[in-house]
Amino acid sequence: MVNESNFRFIHDMTNEHRRKHYCHAHPFSEGQNLIKTVSQLNPKKILELGTALGYTACCLASSGDDCHVDTIEGDSVHVDIARENIEKAGLASRIKVHHGDFNKVLITLSNDYDLVFFDGLAPKPSMLEKLHSMLNEGGTLICANLGFAEPGSDEFLDNEKYWEQAGKMERGGTRIVTKKFR
């Protein structure tokens, strides 16, 4: 398994960037755990919402030799830095950075992802419903930033009609759920 230290420079750069620019680019705090979790799931096609400077995109792409990541970021400065960082990490052939609003970019993508990682600012129930529809049956949603979630987000993730509970990270601030087979 790849060690998160291969991308630690991006994690540290993200913290420094946030301090200088007062933006919302926060690196995921459990990169190695994310790699381990995603490696066990062995997804081939991953969608990430909230690229920031590319740290988690690299963690996700490194989880398996033949997985590919589509990642979306709204901040053009972050997009440029993320593309540079992903290139430095040697993962540019496996990660595609899309620039734009989540909702506008999502309609241009396919609906057949094995794993979705939401690391945008605050998950909304409507976004979680859209991500559910983009997952293959049995696919996994890892949803971060639940402390900022809009009302109804936790209830949607708890809905046994749609999801099986699969775990938590970041002291419960990130949840892992698997799309139920119909």
Instruction: Summarize pLDDT for 64-113 with one digit per residue, the tens.
Output: 989 999 999 999 999 999 999 999 999 999 999 999 999 999 999 999 99
Domain count along the chain: 1
| Higher pLDDT among residues 144 and 26, named by residue | 144
The average confidence (pLDDT) of the chain is: 93
Exposure of 110 in the CB half-sphere (CA atoms within 13 A): 9
SS3 label, residue 66: coil
| CATH number assigned to the domain comprising residue 36 | 3.40.50.150
Give the structural domain span for 138: 4-179
Please report where in the chains the tokens 């900022």 appear, as a residue. 148
**Tens of pLDDT along 11-58?**
999 999 999 988 888 888 899 999 999 999 999 999 999 999 999 999
Distance separating alpha carbons of residues 102 and 50, to the nearest angstrom: 9
Query: Residue holding tokens 């630690």?
Result: 8
pLDDT at 32: 92
Residue 58 carries which DSSP code?
Answer: H
Q: Are strands 163-169 and 68-73 parallel, antiparallel or unpaired?
A: unpaired
